[in-house]
Amino acid sequence: MLEWNELDNRAVDTARVLAADAVESVGNGHPGTAMSLAPAAYLLFQKVMNHNPLEPRCMGRDRFILSVGHSSLTLYNQLFLGGFGLELDDLKNLRRWGSKTPGHPEFGHTDGVEITTGPLGQGLASATGFAYSQRFEKNLFDPNTEDSPFDHFVYVLASDGDVQEGVSGEAASLAGHQKLGNLVVIYDSNQISIEDDTNISFSEDVNARYESYGWHTQTVDWKKTGDYKEDVHALYAAIQEAKQVTDKPSFITLKTIIGWPAPNKQDTGGIHGAKLGEDEVRATKEILGFDPDKNFQVESDVLDHSRLLQTRGKQWQEQWQQKFSMWQSANPDKATLLDRLTNQELPAGIEDSLPTFDQESIATRAASGKVINALADQLPELWGGSADLAGSNNTTIEGAMSFGPSEATTDTWTTDPGGRVLHFGIREHAMAAILNGILLSGHTRVFAGTFLVFSDYMRPAVRLAALMGVPAIYVWTHDSIALGEDGPTHQPVEHLTVLRAIPNLTVIRPADANETAQAWLAALKNTTGPTALVLTRQNLPVMTKQDNPNPELLQKGGYVVGENHSDPEGLILATGSEVAIARDAQAKLAAKGLNVNVVSMPSFELFDSQDQHYKDSVLPPNVTARVSVEAGLAMPWAKYLGAGGASVSIEGFGASASYEVLYEKYGITADAVVEKFESVRN
């Protein structure tokens, strides 16, 4: 039974006027949704969710995702009222430099914010990953307990824009397929966006769509009578019903009036993304019984009442801690594993688990698959898969079951709720967003693969991973025009440049199988941002111990392979499959009496992070005759080549032919490198 009194009503109205005042003060923002969603947000934070404002990262907490990120005040007001660390001055500093209340919620910046949202659809899509994480970790640590300390719910507030974005549909399809019963979405159907009434572009039956995805759906209509009534009891009952449905995610359509009760601007596009204006703010305050001459008015009895959540949260956490302590005592080995994961540590000696390769040649995608399986036994927290390209990406943990409900088992794959092999179908964008949710919610490490060209479909979520510092691992194979006959639609050319332009994304393109093993180690060690492993379709020669005695130098991003001349006449820089071409060019130049060093540069980001002494030892400043060779754009190489250097590159799209023909036709050859070097040397 929901307990709700006049102080609760007053707290909700306080959130409304704070939203209006905060946006009015800064002069820009999104007040309307924060005003009309105040009852729903307050209901979740104060009456529904298990959490503790004094320890907002408590592992057992329910997770809240404000997918409608532009309505940041919907969240900030609850963090203030509930006592999560925000105070009134923080609301007064909305959207200002250095404040705890930026224009959109940012993970790691404000206590109580679970995920950075803003680009619509991303929060709703990543929520599926949050639910994935809960189920996987429950099965990893405590699979047979009915009331487990690893149980929790994921609650989402989403908007018309969120459910319009394609990525949310991709993820919702997976959430329904996976039967994620701990995921509850409240869809704020106010039917207003920047261009005003959404009927101009959006008229579908959203509940029917989600039902077709396999969701449990309900509607709570606050507009169904002649007088608008914010029936929090009806919404609470819908949430409780949703929680009882354990074999489907739940979708509650909440029909609201944006900006209610602003007398002139409610239910218009004008209140969506702009301040109300002084007269409208005053009128709204008068309707709600607030002093129109006072700004940021918070009555002490209201704040005292809402901050009782701290007491309730502490009591809940004490009860949760008892369950957790009992689990620790009963499962010491798993508790030790959880401690390692919580501290973001790898097992001691994990380097010894890496395979070494001495065969003549192997594709780096195939080598990556062998590395994954060599690490799998040592890293029970490692799971992943691909966007319907498991055989091409080599992303399957052999012998492991697939993550999914038992009825999803096929002739090829056997499913289990705690399976380690992920199948995303052909949903690259949702795949990347789900990885973000998995990593933000829990303690595991997860990877996902597709062809490099389809990183385009993932990029918005990849960018957010980099922004948030989420340690996702992307396995991007078929990394150049060398994938051959599929032609230019599948042949990445500009993609390395585009990905290298994303701050905090570490891109690694290994030259052979042993570099690939080291690339995986670098990815696992990187806990402050995502890592992209860029791998070949075609076989590459494996450098011998003599030619490359220290492949672990990949960890530094760049190093000399083959003969290392102390006073070289020039440098040839390359990544991935082109390192072999660079070494062939080195031999041709040596036959002409020219001593050059070949520098394998698998990761610009790792190399740039080294100290200047190391970088100068690899790229001596006095050696200005430099040539780069890479089957992509020349643009990112300029900073290493200097004014006297030049690139062997591809500046247009590919074509359909065998990779041998394509490399010859596009001039990615040792002879082309020799010719280019001779031109810069003279």
Residues labelled as active-site residues: 428
> Long-range contacts for 224-227 (Cβ within 8 Å, ≥24 apart)?
224/255
Among 631, 654, 279, residue whose Cα is nearest residue 486? 654
- Residues 497 and 501: their CA atoms lie apart, in Å, by 6
Query: Using CB atoms within 10 A of its CB, is residue 219 exposed (0-12), middle (13-18) or buried (19+)?
Result: middle
- Residues 363 and 665: their CA atoms lie apart, in Å, by 22
Kindly list the distances between the CA atom of residue 502 and the CA atoms of 472, 486, 631, in Å, as whole numbers in the listed order: 14, 28, 20
Three-class SS state of 476 = strand
Helix or strand (DSSP H, E) at 673? helix 670-681
Query: Using CB atoms within 10 A of its CB, is residue 94 exposed (0-12), middle (13-18) or buried (19+)?
Result: buried
The identity of residue 470, as a single letter, is V
The identity of residue 386, as a single letter, is S
Question: CA angle, 225 as apex, 219 and 230 as ends, to 5°?
Answer: 65
Angle, nearest 10°, between helix axes 166-178 and 428-441?
70
**Beta strand segments in 199-241, E:** 216-221
Cis peptide preceding 261, ω within 30 of 0: yes
**Beta strand segments in 538-656, E:** 539-541, 559-561, 570-574, 596-600, 626-629, 646-648
Q: Cα–chain-centroid distance for residue 551?
A: 30
- Residues 127 and 209: their CA atoms lie apart, in Å, by 18
Three-class SS state of 177 = helix
